[in-house]
Structure 1
């Protein structure tokens, strides 16, 4: 079975396989697992995903479609804030605030990292990595084997973020901040992450793994590992049962 991705939540771990997607949650002292059929990508995202330097935006499109309620809520919230502030003062959010884009990006990464690090998400994120590594090595998914694995992973999405960040840093030094700089950085960073050019990718991995360890994961406890093990075990059972039918 090939694992196409994993994700950690506040009290959950999920994995995606060839045809199914599993989610294991820890609630009320018990682990519950759901396995659903994997959702097919839209035709437009499938087309975009095949075009170099454009395919990076298919991920953003998928995220907007999958989490459209959250994006809608954020848009409405920002509109209301602008309306309320605009109605009571001369402050206009339509005028750009001269803040260094690099500082903003660094601040966002650190704040998000600390939130993940200091909440159960960091432990579930580490557990997801450790279980994935155990499976990739062909070992049985037991606590003993999982505990021996590193909590950083070469395929973690953090490496994509660091690839984009390095691209943005270089372009920022050359051209300054701007929306186009971020968009181009996202496109270049994604291509580096996708193709993994030897010299550049070695640097990305060093920075990415350091970021994973320091900011985006924390040492998991037994319950976090068991949730991740359950998520992958149930996914494998469903995938194998589908192949034999």
Structure 2
């Protein structure tokens, strides 16, 4: 059985972040075409490490950790991608302090707020149709349908904006590099571009799983009265996230099993919206980020020469 380490990633503005067990690195393309790096070490409390080993709980911990770390890298890219080296704003040092103390928290809160909105808005919209579509099962199916429509519409609309389209291209570059690495191929632009832009372990797949898994979990509870329905949706958020995370890991483990790999297909189909084919320069940046992470894993002192928290 392969012992290849598992790496995760995230597309950012004009770049890609990759993370391993202890380290995270971003590479971005500056507007003078140079590549700049940002480093952040994963610092997890011992009690969190213990929880990350507990099924159905570990998913919530991993998501919160990813939201916090990802926000730091996104902040870095947003401040520097469109500014030539040497022309950074004078207030940048303050921004770095804010990044150290505040961006991770803001990222986590933004994720939680988005999850609350995405969970509750379909409840109220489905309730509006209750005079015509009533009963527990019809209401839950309608709620799920509305949630899917909102998700797909949102992703489609933001993909039409130039800046998000480029982020989605970098998302595709991230997946291509991971796929190339997991196949044991040399990380060259040519090899990476031959890979699929889709990946079973993607966060986009996870989002879709939360919709599907949520529907089945909601079937266990009544939908009336409305206040109880709202309350139970809020209380079940960590349950839905935890179960969805386990399902995502399970489908990833089956991707090489011919008969069962189809279980991950819905998530891959959603990635047709959240990833786009990258150009060679984007792939270059993604490769640079991944290679820099490997360098740091072999020699952590390299991180001292990068922008880091």
**Normalising to structure 1: TM-score of the pair?**
0.75
Structure 1 stretch 173-182 or stretch 36-45: which is displaced more?
173-182
Q: What RMSD in Å do the two structures reach over aligned CA positions?
A: 3.3
Is the aligned partner of 1:168 residue 2:218? no
Aligned equivalent of 2:54, options 51, 56, 79: 51
Q: C-alpha separation between the residues in 2 aligned to 1:73 and 1:52?
A: 25
Measure how far apart 1:28 and its partner are: 0.7
Q: Deviations over 1:122-177 (max 9, x none)?
A: 10000001111112222221111111111101221222222222111223455445
Measure how far apart 1:182 and its partner are: 3.9
Q: In the alignment, is the contact (CA less than 8 A) between 2:9 and 2:18 conserved in 1?
A: yes
**Structure 2 residue aligned with 1:12:** 15
Aligned equivalent of 1:217, options 275, 291, 301: 275
Structure 1 stretch 232-241 or stretch 174-183: which is displaced more?
174-183
**Structure 2 residue aligned with 1:155:** 201
Aligned equivalent of 2:125, options 87, 93, 99: 99
Q: C-alpha separation between the residues in 1 aligned to 2:286 and 2:55?
A: 34
Measure how far apart 1:40 and its partner are: 2.2
Q: C-alpha separation between the residues in 2 aligned to 1:14 and 1:168?
A: 29
Matches within 5 A, 1:231-242: 231-241=289-299
The secondary structure found in structure 1 opposite 2:124 is coil
Measure how far apart 1:116 and its partner are: 4.6
What are the ranges of 5 or more consecutive residues in structure 2 without an aligned counterpart? Answer: 70-103, 114-122, 127-142, 224-228, 302-309
Is the aligned partner of 1:179 residue 2:234? yes
Measure how far apart 1:229 and its partner are: 1.2
Q: In the alignment, is the contact (CA less than 8 A) between 1:160 and 1:189 conserved in 2?
A: yes
Is the aligned partner of 1:24 residue 2:27? yes
**Normalising to structure 2: TM-score of the pair?**
0.61
Q: Deviations over 1:8-60 (max 9, x none)?
A: 01211011134432211012142323253531212332232222222232134
**Structure 1 residue aligned with 2:105:** 68
Measure how far apart 1:212 and its partner are: 0.6
